[in-house]
Structures are given as structure tokens and as C-alpha cells.
Amino acid sequence: MLYPSQQHTADELSAKLSSSPDTAILLKGLPGQGKSTIVNEVSSKRGVIESPLYMAEHAEAEDLPLFIVSEGRDDREIIQAMTDYRSKIASVILIERLNGTRAVDLTSKGIQVAELSLTPLLGEEIDNMINSMHPECRDEERALIQKYSLGIPLLVEKMIQSRPVDKRVAELILTGYISSISLRDLPSSHEYLSWKKLVDDFFQEHF
């Protein structure tokens, strides 16, 4: 099930697949925001088969599949496949980290790119997620989850699973998440320092 803000992104993604079939669509977001969930929802509703991009060589022209590329794949492979097999590729969805460079890399090779970025869950959506997983959640716990999850479904889930939730638990989960994406999503030292400053400023302002 998608929450309304996720459904909005799924609808946008589906519309772009229909209007720009020869475009690579970058679905961008932080880990745990639901990128794969949205892609699965869209592909299943459209009745398409998800295939790895290297299978484009074997695609039949009358039944072009939808190709899904995870954030871990090498951009050189993507560019090579999209260049060599463009006539056999119906649509490509690239699951991308928030600060990735795939748009620049692909555009520089003449590949048309459309970008979509996920938004955080709204307060009401977080409440609904809490109610579905832990309807007995106390008001104090609910307030902490709202504050520290940043609207990221993975963090909401982790905090609910770690109940009883107090400020120390919520801070540990959030800082652990921030530490993990600092290395995975922001690979260069310059980007890491910028991200660390952003996080430090966030904590000083809100906590």
C-alpha cells in the first residue's frame, strides 16, 4: 500500500512513462523513502515485466519490457546499453540516490532524462503508519516518532519496532541512519563534510 504522498509520485512516474517512453526516468530519494516500493507498484499496475537492462539485447520489438536499474549499477553499463539497444528499450527507470550524478552522466551522452524526487511522509501519513503497526502507541511516543523520523518510512518503522520509544532511542535510530547514508549516499569527502554540517545544524536548531 502506498501513502498519498507516495501515490502522487507513483502517478507522476506512470504519466512520464506514458508520455516519454524513450526517456530515462530517475526516481531519486534517500534510503528508506520507498523508491523500490513505488517502482513495484507502478510496474505491476501497468502489467509490465521488470527486466535488468542488460537483457535489452534479447527484447522483442513488439513486447518491449520496462527496465529497472538499481542505484548500485555502473553508469557506464547503463549508457552502453541505452546507446546500443535504444530501439529495443521502451522505458528505463533508474533508482537513484538523492545527490547522484546520473542525470549529468546520461544527458552528456545524448540520453533524455526526467527526474522525480520523493517527498517525506506527511504528519497524517506518519500517524496512519503508526496506527497500522502499533495502535496502542502512547502520545509521547507518537510525538517523538513524528519529530525524529523526518517522514522517512524506514525510520518510522524502526522506531515503532524499537518501542517503548523515548528520546534516547529516537536519537540513536536517527543518528545511526544519518551515519549510514553519509557514507553510502555522499561518497566524496567534500560532500560528506557538507552533509555533516547540515546534520549538525539540524540538530542544533531542532533538538
Does a cis peptide bond (omega within 30 degrees of 0) precede residue 164?
Answer: yes
Q: What is the pLDDT of residue 204?
A: 66
**Which of residues 101 and 147 earns the better pLDDT score?**
147
pLDDT at 76 over 60: yes
The chain-wide mean pLDDT, for the chain, equals: 77
pLDDT at 52 over 80: no
- Which phi and psi angles does 162 have, rounded to 5°? -100, 10
Give the neighbor-by-neighbor strand order of the sheet with 24-29: 50-51, 66-69, 91-97, 24-29, 113-117
Cα 30 from Cα 154, distance rounded (Å):
10
Report long-range pairs for 42-51 (Cβ below 8 Å, ≥24 apart): 42/10, 42/13, 42/14, 42/17, 42/93, 43/68, 45/14, 46/14, 46/17
**Which of residues 48 and 34 earns the better pLDDT score?**
34
Amino acid at 37: T
CB-count exposure of residue 174 (10 Å: 0-12, 13-18, 19+): buried
88 neighbors 61 (Cβ within 8 angstroms): yes
Amino acid at 34: G
The pTM of this model reads 0.76
